[in-house]
Amino acid sequence: MSTSAFKPVPVGFSDFREIRRRGLEYVDKTALIQHLLDDRGIKAMVFPRPRRFGKTLNLSTLRYFFEKSDEDRAYLFEGTAIWEAGEPYRSHFQRYPTIYLTFKDLHPSNLDEWRSEIAFFFQQLLMQYRSLLQDNTLKPWEKKEFMAVLEKRADIATLQQVLKDLSAWLHRRHGEPVVILIDEYDTPIHDAELGGFGKEVFGFIDTLLGAALKDNPHFFKGVITGILRVVGDSFFSGLDDFTAYDILQKPYSTCFGFTEAEVDSLFRRAGLEDRIEEARTWYKGYNFGGNVIYNPWSIVNYVSDPDGRRRDYWLDTSSNGLVRDLLIRHALTVDADIRALIDGGEIHKRISGNVVLSKASEDPHAMWNLFLFTGYLNARRLPLDDLDIISRYALSIPNREVRLVYTRTFRRWMEIFFRHQSGGTEAFIRDLFNGDTWALEWKLEQFAASISSEYDRFKGDPALIPTGLVLGLFVVLHGTHRVVSNWELGRHRLNVSIIPREPGRPGVVMALMIDCPEQRPLEEVLTQAVKRLDEQDDEAALVQAGAEPIHVYAVGFADEEVRVVKA
């Protein structure tokens, strides 16, 4: 197929006008405008979507369509879905005064910094509307408020009313209600939660958005985007008219991200039909409201890269620190779930559309909510039973690109815990497969000491140390071995089999013993454990897989002492 008509793809562009002016490829998402206008019963709505799923570009598109301007912008929309829809949709074109703001650059590290940043933020916003001071639009007391914000003298209570007051002033001047567009509203919320002052930021944004978007007669439509539908102690509790359309709901589900048909069309026009299947493997996997959705950032980068050598485009765009922190924090209590996910399986969880960030740090069940809505998991709805209040979903890792977050996290985790040892994780694996019990004893003692000092809570549950070791081995060896484990005798013995995926590779059987009885010598306990492994014929699966050689160990963890006995 000829590619002469194919235009350059817009990598790194999030401004609708710039994309159209430059003649770049544009996957038409203007149907969002039509849906908003058809949704006449709802004035204010939020669209939580993972990062890099077209939120900023879509808000930019809304701005150029609705915003009252002296510039004729019809040329930007020629040939698009909203333009072809005709009247009555075109009657809303360039009709409304529009307030557009983004919170993406608000990254406070403490409460004082937050107050300073938000004062500067609204100063810059009102700078755009200084002409309001030159006519009779504002009352004398309103001009005082305006100047207080411009001079950064306004208190928090005044700043919380800025959006509501500005919408009233613009409505008064233009005779039309205002369109309010807010991008990445939750960015400062994430930073505040990590910094320990989330309650204050929650309260500010609750009041700000509540004042602007609830019972405000001066706005026509309000659209807010973010990564999460964040809730706190009272966050959004008062916004009864505020509707969220998240990734689990069908309405607007094709407005963010690329559909199957859009990806096929893009690849065909680019002459890359032979690479569509590879793209599906790496970037497909999301289910938004029953529709198959691709990560648009990764697709655009993949199409623009003629060699197709890079794969983790989305993961490189920003820090995954919060996700990695929660994985490590909770991994040892949900290790079976994580192993099932990395192995390509599903886990079944109850999911709520609201995410409480503070609970995600404390409760692994809340963590799954956060992972889903930030794009690190995909969801398939399960049938409800009579006892279900919250919907249940089958969760899975969406694609190969996202799987890298999980595998890299635990590879790095193992490297950290073996960082003080010569050869690190690779040396430990080599000793494990070579049967070097003395080296294993020394390295496992260092591992246990390192992990205990890193996470104080390990001291309260010694079983978490061997669990963490097994999870690390599962990820590090995933390409060459299967790591299978199960608990015996409650939480006192963890049996582990490391089975090669190809014959001729070494295999390992281990019994990891926790809280070994003090009245019996540790070596005696471990010798009995090895004998029991032989009796249970735990080596059978390794023999069947063609493992060569096979090493059988019993490893005992008692306080800070580690002992290894080999059959």
* Average pLDDT value for residue range 404-429: 81
For residues 515 and 513, what is the distance between their CA atoms, to the nearest angstrom? Answer: 7
The whole-number pLDDT of residue 475 equals 87
Whether residues 47 and 180 share a domain: the answer is yes
Q: Is the dihedral of CA 286, 290, 291, 297 positive or negative?
A: negative
pLDDT band at 29 (very low <50, low <70, confident <90, very high): very high
259: in domain: no
And the tokens for 251?
């309405």
Range of the domain at 336: 321-405
And the tokens for 39?
């949704």
pLDDT band at 2 (very low <50, low <70, confident <90, very high): very low
The whole-number pLDDT of residue 460 equals 53
Given a cut of 60, is residue 459 above it in pLDDT? no
- Residue where a domain terminates, one of 371, 405, 439: 405
Q: Is the dihedral of CA 342, 348, 350, 354 positive or negative?
A: positive
The whole-number pLDDT of residue 463 equals 66
Q: Does 506 sit behind a cis peptide bond, omega within 30 degrees of 0 on the bond before it?
A: no
Of the listed ranges 128-142, 343-357, 445-459, 499-513, the least confidently predicted one is 445-459
Given a cut of 60, is residue 237 above it in pLDDT? no
Share of the chain above pLDDT 70, in %: 88
CA-wise closest residue to 60 among 19, 9, 118, 12: 19
* Average pLDDT value for residue range 68-91: 94
β-bridge partners, 350: 392
Number of Cα atoms under 13 Å in the Cβ half of residue 271: 10
370: in domain: yes
pLDDT band at 243 (very low <50, low <70, confident <90, very high): confident
pLDDT band at 121 (very low <50, low <70, confident <90, very high): very high
Q: What is the mean pLDDT of the chain?
A: 86
Alpha helices in 418-457 (DSSP H): 424-434, 437-454
For residues 209 and 292, what is the distance between their CA atoms, to the nearest angstrom? Answer: 32
pLDDT band at 453 (very low <50, low <70, confident <90, very high): low
Whether residues 546 and 425 share a domain: the answer is yes
Q: How far is CA 103 from the centre of its chain?
A: 18
251: in domain: no
Whether residues 442 and 560 share a domain: the answer is yes
Share of the chain above pLDDT 90, in %: 48
For the chain, the residue count is: 567
Considering the entire predicted model, what is its pTM?
A: 0.85
Q: Is the dihedral of CA 84, 87, 88, 89 positive or negative?
A: positive
Q: How far is CA 25 from CA 14, 33, 81, in A?
A: 12, 19, 15
Question: Which residue carries 């928090």 as its tokens?
Answer: 156
The whole-number pLDDT of residue 66 equals 98
533: in domain: yes
pLDDT band at 232 (very low <50, low <70, confident <90, very high): low
Whether residues 363 and 430 share a domain: the answer is no
369: in domain: yes
The whole-number pLDDT of residue 335 equals 80
Q: How far apart are the first and last CA of the chain?
A: 64
Given a cut of 90, is residue 450 above it in pLDDT? no
Whether residues 484 and 347 share a domain: the answer is no
The whole-number pLDDT of residue 516 equals 57
The whole-number pLDDT of residue 523 equals 73
For residues 348 and 379, what is the distance between their CA atoms, to the nearest angstrom? Answer: 9
* Average pLDDT value for residue range 414-418: 78
Q: How far is CA 160 from CA 149, 168, 219, 243, in A?
A: 11, 14, 17, 21
Whether residues 107 and 42 share a domain: the answer is yes
304: in domain: no
The whole-number pLDDT of residue 153 equals 95
Whether residues 456 and 502 share a domain: the answer is yes
* Average pLDDT value for residue range 168-175: 96
CA-wise closest residue to 376 among 353, 404, 410, 415: 404
Whether residues 102 and 144 share a domain: the answer is yes
Provide the domain count of the chain.
3
And the tokens for 305?
């890269």
Whether residues 32 and 180 share a domain: the answer is yes
261: in domain: no
For residues 147 and 153, what is the distance between their CA atoms, to the nearest angstrom? Answer: 8
Give me the CATH number covering residue 236. 3.40.50
For residues 479 and 347, what is the distance between their CA atoms, to the nearest angstrom? Answer: 22
Of the listed ranges 120-124, 254-258, 420-424, 442-446, the least confidently predicted one is 420-424
Whether residues 431 and 530 share a domain: the answer is yes
Q: Give the tens place of pLDDT for each residue, 485-503.
A: 887 755 677 888 999 999 9
For residues 303 and 299, what is the distance between their CA atoms, to the nearest angstrom? Answer: 6
Given a cut of 90, is residue 325 above it in pLDDT? no
Q: Where are the beta strands (DSSP E) in 212-333?
A: 219-226, 242-244, 258-259, 286-288, 291-294
Q: Give the tens place of pLDDT for each residue, 180-216.
A: 999 999 889 888 887 888 888 988 998 899 899 988 9
Angle (CA) 17-5-295 rounded to 5° is: 60
The whole-number pLDDT of residue 199 equals 83
CA-wise closest residue to 473 among 491, 503, 449, 497: 497
* Average pLDDT value for residue range 395-410: 88
Q: Give the tens place of pLDDT for each residue, 499-558.
A: 999 999 999 998 888 765 555 567 777 887 777 777 777 788 899 999 999 999 888 887
469: in domain: yes
For residues 317 and 301, what is the distance between their CA atoms, to the nearest angstrom? Answer: 11
Alpha helices in 270-399 (DSSP H): 276-283, 296-304, 321-331, 335-342, 357-362, 364-373
* Average pLDDT value for residue range 457-475: 72
Whether residues 434 and 541 share a domain: the answer is yes
Q: Give the tens place of pLDDT for each residue, 259-306.
A: 999 999 999 998 888 889 888 888 887 999 999 999 999 999 999 886
- Residue where a domain terminates, one of 244, 268, 296: 244
The whole-number pLDDT of residue 236 equals 47
CB 167 within 8 A of CB 180: yes
The whole-number pLDDT of residue 235 equals 44
β-bridge partners, 230: 355
Q: Give the tens place of pLDDT for each residue, 310-324.
A: 678 887 655 566 677
SS3 of 46, please?
Answer: strand
Angle (CA) 142-145-151 rounded to 5° is: 140
* Average pLDDT value for residue range 343-368: 80
Number of Cα atoms under 13 Å in the Cβ half of residue 361: 10
- Residue where a domain terminates, one of 339, 372, 405: 405
Q: Which residues have C-beta within 8 Å of that of residue 300, sequence separation ≥ 6?
A: 9, 10, 11
Whether residues 211 and 90 share a domain: the answer is yes
